[in-house]
Amino acid sequence: MNRIASDPLFSNTAGKTVGDVVFDFMRACGMDRIFGNPGSTELPMFADLPADISYVLGLQESIVVAMADAYAQVTRKAAFVNLHSAAGLGHALGNVYTAFRNRSPIVITTGQQTRELLPHDPFLFAESPTEFPKPYVKWAYEPARAQDVPAALARAYHMAMQPPRGPVMVSVPLGDWSQPAAPLEFRQVSTTFACDPHELEELARRLDAARKPVLVVGPGVDIDGAWDATVRLAEALQSRVWVSPLSSRCSFPERHPLFAGFLPAHQPALSESLARADFILVLGAPVFTYHFAGHGDHVPPGADLCLISDDPKQIAGAVAGRGLLGNIRLAAEDLLMRISPREALGENHSRIIPRLPERDGVTPEFFYQTLSDLRSKDSIIVEEAPTARDALHDFFPIERPGGFFATASGGLGYGLPAAVGAALTRPDAPVIAIIGDGSSLYSIQALWSAAEYGVDLLVVILNNGGYGALKGIARKSQARRVSGVDIGHLDFVSIAEAQGCRAARCASGRELRSCLRNLLDMKGPRVLEVILTEEN
């Protein structure tokens, strides 16, 4: 379905500028916020901004990209970002890479000097604007004429939304925004495609023949809206369900009787976890993601494997098995019509989550157990505390789609501003950010944006005095001493209060419950610094 010039959205176009037409297109796409950190080469864009389009300010460019990333993931719509020329894009590149790995649809515009100055190597000149962000944008372009800017942004939007979704970039010279422009048609473009039905029929036959099929679910399940269909497929197959290594989303209810746990990111432990399976169906994840080198087979001997994903790179890069390219929700729903449901055995394969007694200090495990007891089940969790990830898996089950977000890239500095972006989406769903002390310092000024926009956000900073994940890896490698992993003399309560957030500190396990309850009952942006101990 096409919108044409007679559509009210695009009527009265006489005298419209490039900026006017771009804002019309943004409205048609549902992009009513611009996440940015302003600079002189972008000034004409956000000067006299239309009243129905708001500007969300972050105090550094990587912060605005992370805010937009989570905003896009939660809303399932594209987010719009404006960055300052080459320097601003350079600041943002770490989180542009994270957005690429998160598969977040972000339309990025960067400023450029005026066209008449470009031949003269001017100040704030972006020498290679389309090459600079590659390969971590799906498309980058600088239009040859000012009049081409709206069409370039329209193409960028549709490319960002096509699976696998991801960031795109358009460089816009300073003077282009005020130039006259013709109206732009808005095209409705489908972004969902199905697997080959003949391949699905063969897959269903093989699943029916398997004695012990197993599912491995990755972030693609939640991205594709396939949570419910995946649960029904697992129940029909009576298959255990594992989460792919280092998954950035939750794709299966973690208290379900069929939930088996989280696959490790190394061999041979990964294959040993799947040892009883004779058929492994991987949904929306690489086969497989590793963090440490290992030895042995990628798949247990004698087991067959099939991967379903709408990401061609995942299909091409799989180390074993057959690959089916298509939307995971459509594939799971199709398989449900083709397979023969198995009789429920009444077995409960889910992990037993132990209960820890109250204690003097606060361990990651005790913290997650206490927060799990108290938090609203509708809350959205944004996590970037690598040292405590195992404790999160063991003591903090996630049970609904869209309820958990982490960085897919492993890069730090994403979680805190991402939580602010998530909190801008749904005032009715409280957001809880769980951030390591080292991680928080990459983007601590995101707290200013949280206070400025009054988001309903609880930030918990788990303070273990340094880069605990690196310390743990060093211990396993028998290192006697590691430099650069200790962080001291920081007062996170003062840092948070200075930026306009209420803040408190807790170092006692016996006070943790009351501290968390008090802050969870509040509204607005607030911070709790939790001093961790190594007590067992």
Question: What positions carry a catalytic annotation?
Answer: 39-40, 42, 61, 84, 291, 410
Listed residue (216, 254, 527) closest to 401, CA to CA: 254
Task: State how far the Cα of 81 lies from the Cα of 64, in Å rounded to an integer.
Answer: 7
Calpha distance 467→471 (Å, rounded): 7
Amino acid residing at 222: D
Closest CA to 36 of 58, 69, 62: 58
DSSP 506: E
* Beta pairing, strands 168-173 & 106-112: parallel
Which single residue is written with the structure tokens 């996630």? Answer: 398
What is the CA angle 320-321-326, rounded to 5?
115
Residue 300's H or E segment, with its range, is none
- Interatomic CA distance for residues 280 and 213, integer angstroms: 6
Asked if 297 and 273 touch (Cβ cutoff 8 Å), the reply is: no
Residue 17, strand partner residues: 180
Residues 70, 431 contacting (CB under 8 angstroms): no
Peptide bond between residue 186 and the one before it cis (omega within 30 degrees of 0): no
